[in-house]
Amino acid sequence: MDFPKLPLAGVTVLSLEHAVAAPFATRQLADLGARVIKVERTGSGDFARQYDETVNGQASYFVWLNRSKESVSIDVKSEDGRELLRRLASSADVVVQNLGPGAAKRLGLGSDELRAQDPRKIVLSITGWGSTGPWADRKAYDLLVQCETGLVSLTGTADDVAKVGISVADIAAGMYGFSGVLAALYQRAVTGEGAALEVSLFEALAEWLGQPAHFTAGTGAQPGRFGAQHATIAPYGPYSAADGHVVLLAVQNEPEWKRLCEIVFEDPDLAVDSRFVSNTLRVQNRLPLNERVAQHFAALTTDELTERLTSARIAFAGVNTVSEFLDHPVLAERDRWRSVDTEAGAVRALLPPLQFGRAEARMDAVPALGEHSAAVAAEFGFDAEAIDRMLGDGTLYAAGDDGADGTTSE
């Protein structure tokens, strides 16, 4: 496949991936034009295919993360399956895996083995806790990592902790994996050398905990939990307008605080109240501050607040539901929605946030399990007789084939 307008056209990625982190990294490579060949288990495939059935019978995670990829379903415990996998790995520019500890090495796909055969190879391993250290063999899932990094202790209310509502550890690791591969491709173009890359979910999310980590180390106490209010900036949180609509107010500095009091609230005395004249004092006096801000909000309608906050150049937002987000005017007016095909029909999907000049991101179909098995096997040197045999004995699984035995690709 050739996508000449996109920067990664001509780059081939082989990925032994499941769930979120690695699929997110490779989908972004596909967005930029890379050919991504996704190796899946025979029978069931990537276990994210079974997370739910909410998108016309398909899993929402899988539809989000796997467009523009080719699905090849292989029993890698078979001789033919291992040979096909070896050929795929040999031809790929980039090999990505987030299998269980030690699984890639057992398949001959460890970074040392691959780069010994071809020093130009780029190999990305996404792990839970790192490939070395005391937890190298321990399972890692997103919420476990949220807990271990302390993120859950920062999220929620004073009475109860809460997890973040998206797979933030997986997404963080996927983003670092994606950017690492881009850096490695640049390095290879300059020096001819590939790279062995590793990202762990734990260390990726640990980086994102940098501010509360520094805050806690500096003060001896971590930031508190204040629901949707900012832990260390005030006023920065949701307040109800006179008509009941919730508006999130975000005051970042002292000039904004002054304009909020004078222009929005028409209460200049509040700006010079000794309890509130600096952000540190406003945070220390959060309860009386919130009472005063809430009183002023409750006296104004949403339209009045919108007009005054805009005039005062103070940031604010509606506290939207996901349904409201799906109908957001910014997305509509910036033409961010596209149609993506799946085996159960087309779905609406957002363009990736990175705009690469005038070239539009690749947004091809989400593959059915094993949809490309036979075609890829033929491309990599297996004749029709061999492919028929492999389909018959379960070495390969193709969409619509009920003969697979469920052997995993790990």
* Ranges of each domain in the chain: 12-209+335-397, 236-318
pLDDT band at residue 402 using 50, 70 and 90 as cut-offs: low
pTM for this prediction: 0.90
pLDDT digits (tens, 9 = 90+) for 222-234: 988 988 999 889 9
Identity at 398, one-letter amino acid code = A
pLDDT the model gives residue 335? 95
Q: What is the mean pLDDT of residues 240-253?
A: 94
Burial class (CB in 10 A: 0-12, 13-18, 19+), 264: buried
pLDDT the model gives residue 401? 62
Q: Is the pLDDT of residue 152 over 60?
A: yes
Identity at 290, one-letter amino acid code = N
pLDDT digits (tens, 9 = 90+) for 341-375: 999 999 999 999 988 888 899 999 999 999 999 99
Lowest mean pLDDT among 108-112, 282-286, 383-387, 403-407: 403-407
236-318 CATH? 3.30.1540.10
Question: What is the C-alpha separation between 332 and 334, in angstroms, rounded?
Answer: 6
Q: Are 227 and 162 in contact (CB under 8 A)?
A: no
pLDDT digits (tens, 9 = 90+) for 29-88: 999 999 999 999 998 899 999 999 999 999 999 999 999 999 999 999 999 999 999 999
pLDDT the model gives residue 399? 81
- For residue 102, how many other CB atoms are within 10 A of its CB? 13
CATH topology of domain 12-209+335-397: Rossmann fold (3.40.50)
Measuring CA to CA, how many Å separate 20 from each of 99, 123, 175, 321?
A: 12, 18, 11, 23
pLDDT the model gives residue 292? 96
Cα 222 to its chain centre, rounded Å, is: 26
How many CA atoms are closer than 13 Å to the CA of 11, on its beta-carbon side? 26
The two three-digit tokens of residue 278, written as one number: 């600096």
Closest by Cα among 65, 23, 56, 71 to 349: 65
